[in-house]
Chains A and B, each alone.
Chain A
Amino acid sequence: MEILQIVGIGMIATVLSVILRQERPEFALQVSVVTGIIIFLFVITKLTYVVQVLNNLAERVDIDFIYFSTILKVIGIAYIAEFGAQISRDAGEGAIAAKIELAGKILILVLSMPILIALLDLIIKIMP
């Protein structure tokens, strides 16, 4: 029952964080960061199965596989960026969180450009 483990870790970390916040606020932040990473690692191994299924699905469609790997990369970037931004926001650094999100957006745009170009090429091809 992984969900019990994860919820247990989360509850303990929350209690620790609440206690530490009054005595030592800097440790409270570290506890939340570590807890987040642990939960993330727990789940990410499960996510590999979902990603594999998605890959199999993508291979059945007879278009370039690069599009699907791009989408998966984009989702990974979004996850990591959100993770970092939330931790920063928890620590009260809204400005840094906004910067992390901006970086995530820019990286996603860079990854999506080849798809945009490919779509444009396709549309130009259809013109007589």
Chain B
Amino acid sequence: MISFLKDWAINIAIISIFITILEIIMPKGPLKGYINVIIGLILIIVLINPFINLISNNIDIEKEVFANINSYNEENSVVKESFKELQKDQIIKTYKEKVKKNIIGLVESESKYKVEDINITINLNEDEKDFGKLKKLKLNLNKKKDKNKSNITIEDVEVSISENFNNKNYKETNDKKILNILSDNFDIDSNNILIYINQ
């Protein structure tokens, strides 16, 4: 910056001396005015030339820098966005697993049934207040086998293709105990809990 100002001052000094000498050798006639106009133009050029160089250079550099920063940010934000989605999916998946584990543990410890299958629906709308709350719960229960039982009776196994819980082996139950435990622990309306017990 100092050298820039120094160059500028030297330029102005030199052009002043130059113009003074020119004024001396200039012929005194009607053409003097024309020469003075040109000298004035050159004086203006000398005055603003380094300044313009500085400004235009800076503007160019800033433009380059800003363009680079912008492109970098755009690229980065795309990657970030995809990562966010991935992370959200993983969080929801983990959350569901945890809830399922919790329910299974609770049901198996509090009742004499074993959970065979579980299906839960969770509120996934982020904007709502009860985001993450259990909306529906379907349980497939089986009677716990007594470990002490020695003679296992083998029954005819009926294979059902239908995945519907309402197939004939399962029967809907209204076991108040399980219902209450679940609705108390998971803050879910007991009407939304469906429990089927394998007969």
Contacts and interface: CB of A to CB of B under 8 A. Distances in A.
Contact of A79 (B18, B27, B50): B27
A39 to B, nearest CB: 14
A53 B10 CA distance: 16
A78 B49 CA distance: 28
Interface string A22-63: 000000000000000000000000010010011001101111
Nearest to A79: B27
Interface in B10-29: 10-11, 14-15, 17-18, 21-22, 25-27, 29
Contacts of A125: 52, 56
Contacts of B39: 71
Main secondary structure of the interface of B (DSSP, over half): helix
Contacts of B46: 61, 63
Contacts, number: 100
Main secondary structure of the interface of A (DSSP, over half): helix
A4 interface: no
A118 interface: yes
B35 A74 contact: yes
Interface size on B, as a range, is 20 to 34
B38 interface: yes
A54 B25 CA distance: 11
Given A62-B11, A68-B18, A125-B52, A101 B30 contact: yes
A58 to B, nearest CB: 7
Contacts of B34: 74, 78, 105, 108-109, 112
Interface string A61-76: 1110001101100110
Nearest to B15: A61
Interface of B: 7, 10-11, 14-15, 17-18, 21-22, 25-27, 29-32, 34-35, 37-39, 41-42, 44-46, 48-52, 55-56, 59
Q: Which 6 A-B pairs have the closest CB atoms?
A: A78-B31, A82-B27, A82-B29, A112-B38, A108-B34, A115-B41
Given A54-B18, A71-B42, A128-B59, 11 more contacts: A50-B25, A57-B17, A58-B14, A63-B45, A71-B38, A78-B31, A78-B32, A85-B29, A101-B29, A101-B30, A122-B48
